[in-house]
Amino acid sequence: MFDLYDAGDLRLSPQHSLARIEYELQLHAALLRTMRAMLQTQRVQREQDHPALAPISEELDVVEQHIAELPGADERPMQALARRLGCSGHEVGFLWTAVALAVNPRMLVHARGLDDTASRGLSLSLYGRIANLEADASRALGLALLPGHAASRNGLLVPAQGEWVPAALPWMPAPELIHYLAGQPSSVAALSEIAPPAEGALLDEVQQRAVAHIGAMLGNRQPLVLYIEGPELTGRRTAVALATGGPVLAIDLANLAPSPDSLRDALVALRREAALRGAVAVIAGIEELMSAEGGKDPRMRLLAQHLNTASEPVVLVSSWRGIDVGVQLPAVRIDWPIPDVAARAALWRDLAGAITGAAGDGAAEIDLIAHRFPMGAGAIRRAVSSALVLAGRPPGSRLTPGELQSGIRQNVAERLGGLAERVVVKQTWNDLVLADDVMTRVVGLVGRVRHAHMVYEQWGYRAKMPRGVGVAALFSGPPGTGKTMVAGLIANELDLELYQVDLSKVVSKWIGETEKQLAKVFDAAEAGHVLLLFDEADALFGQRSTEMRGATDRYANLEVNFLLQRIERFNGIVILTTNLEASIDKALKRRLAAHVVFQHPDEDEREQLWTQLLAADGAPLGRDIDARKLSRLYPQMTGANIRNAALAAAFLAAAEGRSRIDQATVTQAARGEYLSMGHVLAATSEL
């Protein structure tokens, strides 16, 4: 006989969740409706009812009654989803039937008897027969299933490939929809979920106002694009969770493969999961789209197209300000700052706990760290974790201020990502030979950094500063006059690490790429309170062209503009060195805290340099060494040239087996160095 119904198809137990109970009941009801439709078709052919039709109809009535009596309508997954998407009852029925057809082999067998394309998915035509839709309901559902409908736009239903008339187009449910309805939410690798902190967040007043603004923009759920612009690891995504009090789902474009397909898949997944979970969608790292060849990244256009079809607010997070994705939706920009010193100190106490300080509780040390390192909650949390790992201690252990700073610097090195190299200067101030007026300027620069906390915070001068309170200095002068050495000595004096920017890795021929790399460098240096060194800065900060002769001049000017703006709001320490002062843009000079001009050493200074650089522990110097004479013989030498000559003399004496580094050996080495500098020395001049 025609064995259509097996009561064993429905297996439920008290241990099942409410979502799973509804899932099983709905799938069973869809199977019964399909079998009923098959039997009704056979009734027309046989002109009599099939014996199984009545019991199947009775069983369907019972199952539908059970579904209607299920408690917690607002808590069940499908009801919540339908409310968020605005789905009608027939659209909900279509979704349940599509899921049942995808997961129940028995239903597929019967559905293929009604429509041989059922293995491709559920069409409007097939659903109309299964649900026994009236003509008006069928037409209304047909309109709801046109391209761009809610379920398709949110990636819940996927259309079959090929050309189909709308009524015959098969739809397959996304696997994530099936898991969601069964009460088993799936995870997507590209997505991260951000929940509001259980005990709130430590925010300063500016951040609190920003959170309130975010909440107001997202509260009515109207489609718009909300840009949140601020430094990395400062809690930008957490601010969204705080503002809404609900779940936040985010993708970070920096973690995706740089291909349109990868972005498309991630955007579809984000929208789908946000619809399923009722979460706010956040897209972070949009500055990644500003660095493709020629500045024309096809992913930017893809992102704009995706955003223009949004039916809910979407948040775009960027460490760059002013990026325009080019959407047609209303757009709002909110600045997200680094927390102020007081909030940072509270964050350190909350995340690092008690530390071992000179005063016992470490309060003074925490305040100093909070001032020195302008970091957000994410960066502080990461620094504490790194400090514990480096110190070999379990979570919750007490840390010293030095250990905390080691954790900070470890993360700075990672964030710089090879764009800057750490420079270790082993010389001391005693090795430095400078004119008195130059030394005075250098000492003043050190004092400006050392006493910044007192002047800006304790004395209240921060309120007088329109932009950043960092220190930018220009060291100009001939090569070899000690500019880089002084930068290193300043770093050592202030207990800072010195990082020299690698221009070969920062400067790019692709439009926008240079700015992107520089933004990473400045952000990392600011957070890690390292001293940033731009050697040969004229390559980046050259004079802007007033006569635009083409795109090259225009984009070069844009790069300089970006650098000027970034230095203006920089809160760290940056030293620029150049041998070509005249090439530096005048606008940059106006933004400098100090401009130190390194002069060519005079005769007395050269004599001192010869004396210091020839002397070394264990070096067998001859009694006939005459530093004054060497200074007079080679007037064009700088400290770097004298160091080269002194070292060359030592190797020359060692190679020739001499017992002493005498005047003749030094003179021979100095003559070679002088010739390499392009100077000609008469033989009689050495007499």
Residue 234 within a domain: yes
Residue 548 within a domain: yes
The pLDDT score that the predictor gives to residue 41 is: 80
| Residues 365 and 507 both lie in one domain | no
| Residues 475 and 521 both lie in one domain | yes
Identify the band that residue 555 occupies on the pLDDT scale cut at 50, 70 and 90. low
**What average pLDDT does the segment 89-101 reach?**
95
**What average pLDDT does the segment 207-217 reach?**
95
| Residues 593 and 608 both lie in one domain | no
Indicate the residue among 387, 416, 445 that finishes a domain: 416
**pLDDT tens digits for 312-331?**
999 999 988 888 898 999 99
Separation CA 508–CA 511 (nearest Å) = 8
Please state the domain count of the chain: 5
Strands 157-159 and 171-173: antiparallel
The pLDDT score that the predictor gives to residue 549 is: 55
**Residue 4 predicted with pLDDT over 60:** no
Residue indicated by tokens 């079959």:
160
| Residues 120 and 209 both lie in one domain | no
CATH of the domain at 627: 1.10.8.60
Contact call for residues 644 and 665 (beta carbons, < 8 A): no
Separation CA 606–CA 638 (nearest Å) = 7
| Residues 364 and 477 both lie in one domain | no
The pLDDT score that the predictor gives to residue 547 is: 56
> If 0-12 CB within 10 Å is exposed, 13-18 middle and 19+ buried, where does residue 530 land?
buried
Around Cβ 42, how many Cβ atoms within 10 Å?
16
CA atoms within 13 A on the CB side of 208: 8
The pLDDT score that the predictor gives to residue 13 is: 54
Separation CA 385–CA 395 (nearest Å) = 8
Residue 186 within a domain: no
| Residues 434 and 346 both lie in one domain | no
Residue 423 within a domain: no
192 backbone dihedrals φ, ψ, rounded to 5°? -125, 140
Residue 421 within a domain: no
The 3-class secondary structure across 600-614, one letter per residue, is CCCHHHHHHHHHHHH
DSSP states of 469-511: --EEEEEESSTTSSHHHHHHHHHHHTT--EEEE-HHHH--SST
The pLDDT score that the predictor gives to residue 514 is: 79
The tokens for 172 are 């397959």
**pLDDT tens digits for 50-66?**
778 889 989 999 999 99
Identify the band that residue 642 occupies on the pLDDT scale cut at 50, 70 and 90. very high
Q: What is the mean pLDDT of the chain?
A: 86
Contact call for residues 656 and 617 (beta carbons, < 8 A): no
Separation CA 52–CA 37 (nearest Å) = 12
The pLDDT score that the predictor gives to residue 2 is: 35
CA–CA–CA angle 288, 292, 293 (5° rounding): 170
Residue 1 within a domain: no
| Residues 400 and 461 both lie in one domain | no
Indicate the residue among 158, 181, 204 that finishes a domain: 181
The pLDDT score that the predictor gives to residue 195 is: 84
**pLDDT tens digits for 389-431?**
999 988 888 888 888 888 988 888 888 878 899 999 999 999 9
CA atoms within 13 A on the CB side of 405: 17
Q: Which domain holds residue 679?
A: 603-686
The pLDDT score that the predictor gives to residue 45 is: 58
**pLDDT tens digits for 133-171?**
998 888 989 888 887 788 888 889 999 888 788 889 999
Separation CA 666–CA 611 (nearest Å) = 12
The H-or-E segment that residue 280 falls in is strand 280-284
Identify the band that residue 358 occupies on the pLDDT scale cut at 50, 70 and 90. very low
**Residue 634 predicted with pLDDT over 70:** yes
Residue indicated by tokens 């690798």:
189
SS3 14: coil
| Residues 323 and 365 both lie in one domain | no
Separation CA 234–CA 215 (nearest Å) = 18
Residue 2 within a domain: no
Identify the band that residue 43 occupies on the pLDDT scale cut at 50, 70 and 90. low
CATH of the domain at 238: 3.40.50.300
| Residues 438 and 571 both lie in one domain | yes
The pLDDT score that the predictor gives to residue 647 is: 95
Separation CA 276–CA 154 (nearest Å) = 9
Residue 424 within a domain: no
| Residues 279 and 160 both lie in one domain | no
**Residue 128 predicted with pLDDT over 60:** yes
| Residues 240 and 309 both lie in one domain | yes
- pTM, two decimals, is 0.76
**Residue 382 predicted with pLDDT over 70:** yes
Query: Of 252-256, 313-317, 519-523, which gets the smallest average pLDDT?
Result: 519-523
The pLDDT score that the predictor gives to residue 186 is: 75
| Residues 537 and 665 both lie in one domain | no
**pLDDT tens digits for 283-308?**
999 988 875 444 457 889 999 999 99
> If 0-12 CB within 10 Å is exposed, 13-18 middle and 19+ buried, where does residue 586 land?
exposed
Indicate the residue among 358, 386, 416 that finishes a domain: 416
